[in-house]
């Protein structure tokens, strides 16, 4: 059996290797079986032309949250790759902080379906100020026995 601590450590170590997260300023907030939360402070370096966070940055944290949620359901030694995702953008990604909550819809041997909700917080850390700004669904693939593709 894989302990919760071992799973969290595994995701933390993998997240730390995702250099793009550092580049954007995203951090891993929580890891539970089947659920991963990533937060991203809103800063001008992430903006598109109208002063909102670019859909690509929103998609980036949503994809990672969905992918790591899937990874919590995969046996150790497997790597996770995104096969596809779709994101609907519902409101401008603005405010103080974005929060991406990834959850597993159905875990399979080869393919896992996850989704991620992204909320824009007017006040960072104030869940009461959250507004849903994007919804992503992603197909994640479990990779086995391929050099370099672990976690």
Q: What residue ranges bind a second copy (CB under 8 A)?
A: 14-15, 17-20, 22-24, 44-51, 53-57, 59-61, 63-64, 79, 81-91, 105-106, 108, 110-111, 113, 115, 132, 135, 137, 139, 141, 148-149, 151
Least Cβ distance, residue 107 to a second copy (angstroms): 10
The three-class DSSP label of residue 2 is: coil
> Closer to a second copy at the Cβ: 129 or 137?
137
Tell me how crowded residue 57 is: count the other CB atoms within 10 A of its CB: 22
CB-nearer residue toward a second copy: 19 or 127: 19
Q: What is the DSSP secondary-structure string of 49-115? A: TTSSB-HHHHHHHHHHHHHHHHHTTSPTT-EEEEEEEEEEE-S---SSEEEEEEEEEEE-SSEEEEE
Q: Report the nearest approach of a second copy to the CB of residue 27 (Å).
A: 15
Least distance CB 2 / a second copy (angstroms): 18
Least separation in angstroms between CB 20 and a second copy: 4
Burial of residue 68 (number of CB atoms within 10 Å: 0-12, 13-18, 19+):
buried
127 secondary structure, DSSP code: G
* Cα 147–Cα 148–Cα 151 angle in degrees, nearest 5: 120
Query: Closest CB to a second copy among 55 and 124?
Result: 55
**Of residues 124 and 135, the one with the C-beta less far from a second copy:** 135
Query: What number of residues does the chain have?
Result: 151
Tokens of 135: 């919804």
Shortest spacing between CB 142 and a second copy, in angstroms: 11
Judged by beta carbon, residue 1 or residue 17, the one nearer a second copy is: 17
């Amino acid at each position: 059996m894989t302990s919760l601590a071992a799973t969290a450590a595994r995701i933390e170590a993998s997240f730390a290797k995702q250099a793009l997260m550092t580049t954007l300023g995203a951090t891993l907030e929580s890891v539970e079986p089947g659920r991963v939360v990533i937060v991203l402070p809103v800063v001008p370096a992430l903006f598109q032309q109208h002063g909102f966070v670019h859909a690509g940055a929103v998609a980036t944290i949503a994809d990672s949250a969905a992918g790591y949620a899937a990874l919590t359901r995969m046996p150790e030694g497997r790597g996770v790759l995104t096969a596809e995702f779709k994101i609907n953008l519902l409101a401008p990604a603005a405010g103080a902080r974005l929060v991406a909550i990834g959850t597993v819809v159905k875990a399979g041997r080869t393919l896992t379906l996850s989704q991620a909700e992204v909320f824009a917080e007017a006040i960072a850390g104030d869940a009461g100020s959250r507004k849903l700004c994007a919804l992503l669904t992603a197909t994640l693939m479990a990779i086995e026995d391929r050099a370099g593709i672990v976690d």
